[in-house]
Amino acid sequence: MSDPKTDSEAVTALRALMERHTDNLYLFVYGIVRNREVAEEIVSEVFCRVWNRRQRMKEVRNAPAFLFVVARNLSVSYLRRAQRMRFARIDRLEEFSLELADAADEAPEGREKALADALSRLPAKCKMAFLLAKVDGLKYREIARIMHVAESTVKNHVAYAIRRLQELLG
């Protein structure tokens, strides 16, 4: 069992860390994830991890640097998970788009095949940017962050995809 005096000291130390660093950690994390709720959750998780590892925190020489490294790692992990989930959603939305095309077309097999064929002919990054913009409704800035490219590159990908789909679908 833990010593109540030691736990009390640990609580006091954690509170001091939180009071000193929460705002700066939040701004740092928000700059990475660009989502207020997610940034708050990540900052909370940083301090939960500090608490759970409080016995080993005595070995940490630079607590602020440690907090920011943990925050950065959690933020990057969040972005990776979000990107994987978004890719899965793109596949589902593409299938949904094909189903809508079926319902709206008199010859659904032909239209579905034409749309699937046209989408498959797009370069991978063009296809991803197009689907995120036009099917998911994301802003170019958000897509640029997900794809790790400039916003102008996303704009070019989407424009190219639209031109190419118009050519292919007539």
Mean per-residue pLDDT over the chain, rounded? 80
The larger pLDDT score, comparing residue 41 to residue 32, is at: 41
CATH number of 4-79: 1.10.1740
Share of the chain above pLDDT 70, in %: 79
DSSP annotation of 105 reads -
pTM: 0.51
- Residue 95: the pLDDT is 53
pLDDT over 60 (residue 48): yes
Identical fold, 4-79 and 105-169: no
Q: For residue 87, what pLDDT band results from cuts at 50, 70 and 90?
A: low
130 in Cβ contact with 157 (< 8 Å): yes
pLDDT category at 90 given cuts 50, 70, 90 is low
Comparing 40-44, 64-68, 124-128, 134-138, which segment has the lowest mean pLDDT?
A: 134-138
Any idea where the domains of the chain sit in the sequence? 4-79, 105-169
CATH architecture assigned to 105-169: Orthogonal Bundle (1.10)
Write down the residue that tokens 């793109």 correspond to: 90
Question: pLDDT-derived band of residue 152, with 50, 70 and 90 as boundaries?
Answer: very high
> Confidence class of residue 126 from pLDDT cuts 50, 70 and 90?
confident
Nearest to 10 by CA among 67, 65, 56, 77: 56
Please say whether the dihedral angle defined by the alpha carbons of residues 142, 144, 147 and 153, taken in this order, is positive or negative: positive
Please give the torsion angle defined by the CA atoms of residues 120, 125, 131 and 133, in that order, rounded to the nearest 10 degrees: -150
Model confidence at 23, pLDDT cuts 50, 70, 90, reads very high
Q: Cα 135–139–144 angle (5° rounding)?
A: 105
51 vs 148, residue with greater confidence: 51
CA dist 44 and 50 (Å) reads 10
> Looking at residue 60, what is its pLDDT?
87
Indicate the Cα dihedral angle 37, 33, 57, 66, nearest 10°.
-150
Q: What is the mean pLDDT of residues 33-53?
A: 93
Which DSSP state fits 54?
A: T
